[in-house]
């Protein structure tokens, strides 16, 4: 039975025209004439039986159906491109792991160690994609994810890696000459907030038996790297896991304002969909990662 799939040329023309909302720019990127792009998109609209663009005096805009279809097609064309590049890179051999990651953990902890895995498994390529928010594997091309939160993802295996245990850090200038701050002095400084952990300061103060009215007030940043930069520039005190800012602490660009860690009930996990758990490459990566995490926890005294 013949598949109900439009031509690749038409889909490429549509994806580019949708991205730019311009037939002219799509034609330039495809090295076609504008009329050729118009014909491809008109043929695609006839194939689908609906309008993807509204023609106006100023150009074209996507219809509601066009917006939806462009998102779907763009994701699938990206997947085809990734698969093609992977096959080209490995000449049809080897394996590729598409890994979703929380960015700071990947940059500061995973990447400095990843060469150890690649040395053991030279035929495996590990691609990293930023995923700082929860998602569904069925809606992505990801094989696994490094995730911070709870382990209860339906249809997945969760492998514990480590907890964060953040401490308050700031620039030495914000200490005002003191070697450390008291909890009240921490509360008196601007509190830098992390978007994905909105209750972190409240939980930290609560662990000391304190309630602070403004514990959720302050500039919000999504990534620990952003928090670290803000803290280094005297903008306030931030709660950050020490292992993510080891270089900044060792160099003195950041200092621990008070040596009291928040022991979180959430943790970093390797999440693998059950349907991919039998993958040899993923199994090798899982075993290596769990070994590396166990070595880190033992060295840091966290076991």
Which tens digits make up the pLDDT trace of 22-75?
888 988 998 889 999 899 999 999 998 989 999 887 778 899 999 999 888 888
Identify the sign of the CA torsion 99, 89, 7, 53: positive
Reference 126, options 137, 139, 113, 140; nearest CA is: 113
Cα separation of the two ends of the chain: 58
Q: pLDDT at position 135, please?
A: 72
- 95-110 average pLDDT score: 93
- 269-284 average pLDDT score: 91
Residue with tokens 């450390």: 180
Q: d(Cα 16, Cα 22) in Å, to the nearest integer?
A: 8
Bridge partners, residue 59, by sequence = 56
With a cut of 70, say whether residue 269 has pLDDT above it. yes
Q: pLDDT at position 92, please?
A: 46
Q: pLDDT at position 88, please?
A: 62
pLDDT in tens, 130-183: 987 777 787 788 899 999 988 878 889 999 999 999 999 999 999 988 999 999
With a cut of 70, say whether residue 105 has pLDDT above it. yes
With a cut of 60, say whether residue 301 has pLDDT above it. yes
- 283-292 average pLDDT score: 96
Q: pLDDT at position 238, please?
A: 98
Q: pLDDT at position 303, please?
A: 60
Q: pLDDT at position 3, please?
A: 74
Residues with Cβ within 8 Å of 36's Cβ and at least 6 positions away in sequence, in order, are 27
**Selected residue with higher pLDDT from 75 and 286:** 286
Can you give the pTM of this predicted structure? 0.69
Q: d(Cα 128, Cα 262) in Å, to the nearest integer?
A: 29
Q: d(Cα 149, Cα 73) in Å, to the nearest integer?
A: 31
CA angle 169/171/176 to nearest 5° reads 105
DSSP state of 194: E
Contact 13, 30 (CB under 8 A): yes
With a cut of 50, say whether residue 93 has pLDDT above it. no
Q: Using pLDDT thresholds of 50, 70 and 90, give the confidence band for residue 79.
A: confident
Q: d(Cα 22, Cα 15) in Å, to the nearest integer?
A: 11
- For residue 4 the two structure tokens come to 């109900």
pLDDT in tens, 205-260: 999 999 999 999 999 999 999 999 999 999 999 999 999 999 999 999 999 999 99
Q: d(Cα 33, Cα 247) in Å, to the nearest integer?
A: 53
């Amino acid at each position: 039975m013949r598949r109900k799939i439009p031509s690749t040329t038409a889909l490429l023309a549509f994806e580019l025209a949708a991205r730019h909302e311009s037939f002219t720019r799509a034609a330039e990127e495809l090295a076609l004439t504008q009329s050729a792009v118009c014909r491809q998109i008109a043929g695609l609209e006839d194939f689908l039986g609906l309008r993807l663009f509204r023609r106006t005096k100023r150009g074209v805009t996507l219809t509601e159906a066009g917006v939806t279809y462009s998102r779907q097609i763009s994701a699938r064309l990206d997947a085809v491109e990734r698969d093609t590049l992977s096959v080209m890179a490995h000449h049809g051999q080897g394996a590729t792991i598409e890994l979703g990651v929380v960015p700071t953990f990947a940059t500061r902890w995973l990447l400095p160690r990843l060469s150890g895995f690649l040395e053991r498994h030279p035929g495996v390529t590990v691609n990293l994609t930023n995923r700082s928010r929860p998602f569904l594997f069925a809606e992505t091309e990801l094989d696994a994810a490094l995730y911070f939160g709870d382990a209860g993802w339906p249809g997945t295996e969760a492998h514990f890696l480590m907890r964060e245990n953040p401490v308050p850090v700031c620039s030495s200038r914000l200490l005002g000459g003191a070697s450390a701050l008291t909890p009240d002095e921490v509360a008196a400084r601007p509190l830098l907030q992390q978007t994905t952990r909105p209750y972190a300061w409240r939980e930290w103060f609560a662990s000391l038996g304190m309630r602070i009215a403004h514990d959720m007030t302050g500039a919000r940043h999504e990534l620990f790297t952003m928090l670290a930069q803000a803290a280094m520039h005297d903008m306030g005190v931030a709660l950050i896991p020490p292992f993510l800012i080891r270089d900044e602490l060792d160099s003195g660009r950041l200092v621990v304002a008070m040596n009291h860690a928040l022991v979180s009930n959430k943790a970093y996990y390797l999440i693998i969909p059950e349907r991919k758990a039998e993958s040899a490459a993923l199994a090798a990566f899982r075993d290596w990662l769990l070994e590396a995490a166990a070595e880190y926890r033992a060295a840091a005294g966290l076991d």
